[in-house]
Every structure is written in C-alpha cells, then in structure tokens.
Structure 1
C-alpha cells in the first residue's frame, strides 16, 4: 500500500510540474539620487537614518536596496530599484520616492558621502558630494 501511495504521489508531482515559466521577470536598475538630508555633524557611535530621495521612472519600479561602498573615509551610495518586466507600466517621472539609509558613525574622522547622481555624456558616474565632520 505504501508503494502505491508513493508511486501515485510521484506521478502527481511529475504531472503537476509545468515546463512553462510563468514567473514574473524582475530586472534591477540604478537610480540617481536627487536629494538627501544629512545632519551638519555626526556624533561618534551614533546611529542615523539618512533620508534619500530619487525619482522612480515607472509604476513597475520599486525600491530594492542600497549599494554602499567604502573607500577610506568616503562612502559611495547607490540606489537600486527592481523593475517588473512584461507588466503594463505607466511613466511616473515626477514620482519622488523617499527611502532611509541606516548609518552608524564608527570612526572619528570626517565622512565624505558621494551619492550617485547619474552619468555624464561619456558614461562616467556623477556624484553629489558632501563632507560631514564627526564630533567625539
């Protein structure tokens, strides 16, 4: 009896699997930062949530995550969005999205924040740069 049940279960599993891929395709895009809010000074050991704003180009875009790179005292910050492909999307070039970047001051030196702001005509990355001093 157990063998019959096992064979029926396996047959049901095999026939229920479809070779058609009905999953939604998602791609990821880098979005330029248009504005941000940072304090005038940072306090060593303090945690912050920096408000970052960017424009989401279509209704199929959604905030995915930050990419954050360190180079000594410089922090390179990029905003990534997921994009649902093959969906009926509408252009929304005026929809500004606010997201929050968690940050902890771990070092007692001035931080240089470089927010990705798009590319120039040569395809080189452009950044909005701000230097924030740290108080001990």
Structure 2
C-alpha cells in the first residue's frame, strides 16, 4: 500500500510540473483580425446548415489566420471575430495588408431573423466596431 501511495505522489508531481500552461517561452500571441466583408444568403431556411464566407485582413507576414470565434450574444445575435496568431520570434515581418477568405458552418435553429456582427476593428476611442448583417429565416 505504501508503494502505491509513493507512485501516486510521483505521478501527481510529474503531472503538475509537466502540464503548466504558463509558459514564458511562447513565441506567439493571439489577435483579432479586421473583417472587411462577408457572404451570407438573402435568407435562411429553418433547420438548414450554411457555409458563411468571411473576408479579413492579415496585417503582416508574421500573422496567421487560426479560425473564427462565433459567440451567441442573444437568441439570434452572433458576434463573429476572425482570430489570428502573431509570431513574436521573427524580426523581419513584411508590413503589408493581405486579404484572405475563410468560412465557418452555421446551423439555423431559430425562426427569428439572425443578426451577425462581424468585428471590423476598434475606432479612435478604442470602441469595437462591427459590420452588421441581418438574415431573415424562412419558416416552411
């Protein structure tokens, strides 16, 4: 029994040391990318799935697209942010705006119109600005 307790203590010590999420050697950080446009249908059909294409800007060659953060703000309001990673271990980034397109899948589960708020950046006062698109839902 004593040997099992020692093995358990060693295992716990190993796990707690090996799984630290606070790693100061990370060579990147996350950032929001500016969304400049989106392709949505004129209307949705209830209970159907759609691919939504989004155009966004990468500000330099050290920034990479990682995905979308789609957050439910209320019943049929979705905030959409394009997420990127910025490499911090590269000094010679090319400063050029590169427009790219990616998409995400969206399932219509309510019959009320959906409002998509695509993050376009912050204004001069530091407040978030959005491109808003309202898509009605056809009830069959």
Q: Pairwise mapping of residues 1-136 of structure 1 onto structure 2 (< 5 A)?
A: 25-70=27-72, 71-87=74-90, 88-93=92-97, 95-136=98-139
| Stretches (4+) displaced over 6 A | none
In the superposition, the TM-score normalised over structure 1's length comes to 0.79
Cα distance in 1 for partners of 2:84, 2:78 equals: 20
For residue 24 of structure 1, report the CA deviation from its aligned partner. Answer: 5.9
What SS does structure 2 have at the residue aligned with 1:39? coil
Cα root mean square deviation, aligned: 1.5
Between Structure 1 and Structure 2, how many residues are aligned?
Answer: 114
Indicate if the aligned counterparts of 1:29 and 1:80 stay in contact, CA closer than 8 A.
Answer: yes
Cα distance in 2 for partners of 1:61, 1:120 equals: 21
Gaps of at least 5 residues in structure 1 are: 1-20
Gaps of at least 5 residues in structure 2 are: 1-22
Indicate if the aligned counterparts of 2:28 and 2:89 stay in contact, CA closer than 8 A.
Answer: no
Indicate if the aligned counterparts of 1:24 and 1:84 stay in contact, CA closer than 8 A.
Answer: no
Indicate if the aligned counterparts of 1:42 and 1:105 stay in contact, CA closer than 8 A.
Answer: yes
In the superposition, the TM-score normalised over structure 2's length comes to 0.76
